[in-house]
Amino acid sequence: MKKKNKKVNAAILIIGNEILSGRTQDKNIAFISNWLNSKCGISVNEVRIVPDLERTIIKNILELSKKFNYVFTTGGIGPTHDDITAQSISKAFKVKYEYHKEAFKILENYYGRSKFNDGRKKMAKMPRGSKLIYNPSSAAPGFITKNVISLPGVPSILNSMIENCKQYLIKGLKVHSKTLNLFTVESNISKQLGLIQKKYKKFVDIGSYPFFRLGKIGVSIVTRSTSKIKLKSVNLDLIKLVKLKKIEILKI
């Protein structure tokens, strides 16, 4: 992994009609986001889901690659006619869409020449100048073009490849988090919570998430920061609020 930077962010672009139709439930957003946050100190600031349409993919690639340090795409790098991610990225960055020599060799060795058909050869085509992300599960590599990292849509395969992305990433500061589970309703603490967030707005993000557990309504207060000291301070303020309001804490 490259040299650590203070704040590094990313976007995720999910590509596939099957996600939008509801036929397939996406599992990659949570996995990639958690991995980037916990292992790389990179925050995911935006997620988009788009169909297998070339003009739509190109538009989103160009927008996101300018806006964020990294863009992770999933889906559309397989052997079929609707797998158009690599071709679309080539057009977005105005580079040639061609066989990657190393990728071609990897796939030819994996399938054997007699079974290395046109569909499988297609998985070796990608934007010129791309670097490979090796695949220990099914051989077909992902690739990185400029700051866009393209991975397969199948969760088990993506999961097995994700560590191979590290060499291309600048590591950010690790984000620490703490969760306080309270038996109360959001409206009971919303005003005070807003004031605490304002006090620490430059250092800590505070999220409020309702839940229903053990027959009671509750709220999970999640605080996140790159500073352990600021995180401790904000949670001391939250405990003061809990005591003032005489709110029961759910211990898990």
Token readout for 149 is: 């990292």
Among 203, 201, 183, 196, which residue's Cα sits nearest to residue 235?
Answer: 196
Left, alpha or beta for 16 (phi > 0: left; psi -120 to 50: alpha)?
left
pLDDT in tens, 32-77: 999 999 899 999 999 999 999 999 999 999 999 999 999 999 999 9
The percentage of residues in the chain with a pLDDT greater than 90, rounded to a whole number, is: 92
pLDDT, mean of residues 85-99: 98
Spell out the CATH class of 176-249. Answer: alpha beta
pLDDT in tens, 121-179: 999 999 999 999 999 999 999 999 999 999 999 999 999 999 999 999 999 988 889 99
Note the pLDDT of residue 173: 86
pLDDT at 4 over 70: no
Do 167 and 110 meet the contact criterion of CB atoms below 8 Å apart?
no
Token readout for 40 is: 């790389």
Angle (CA) 132-134-140 rounded to 5° is: 90
86: pLDDT confidence band, cut at 50, 70 and 90?
A: very high
What average pLDDT does the structure give for the chain? 95
pLDDT, mean of residues 10-33: 96
Amino acid at 160: S
CA 143 to chain centre: 16
Rounded to an integer, what distance in angstroms lies between the CA atom of residue 192 and that of residue 184?
14
Fold of 8-168: Molybdenum Cofactor Biosythetic Enzyme; Chain A (3.40.980)
DSSP3 helix / strand / coil % (the chain, rounded to 5): 40, 30, 30
**Residue 8: C-alpha distances to residues 13, 37, 68, 231 (Å):** 17, 10, 8, 19
Do 219 and 213 meet the contact criterion of CB atoms below 8 Å apart?
no
How do the domains of the chain map onto residue ranges?
8-168, 176-249
pLDDT in tens, 177-217: 999 999 999 999 999 999 999 999 989 999 999 999 888 89
Instruction: Tell me the residue length of the chain.
Output: 252
30: pLDDT confidence band, cut at 50, 70 and 90?
A: very high
Note the pLDDT of residue 174: 84
Note the pLDDT of residue 87: 98
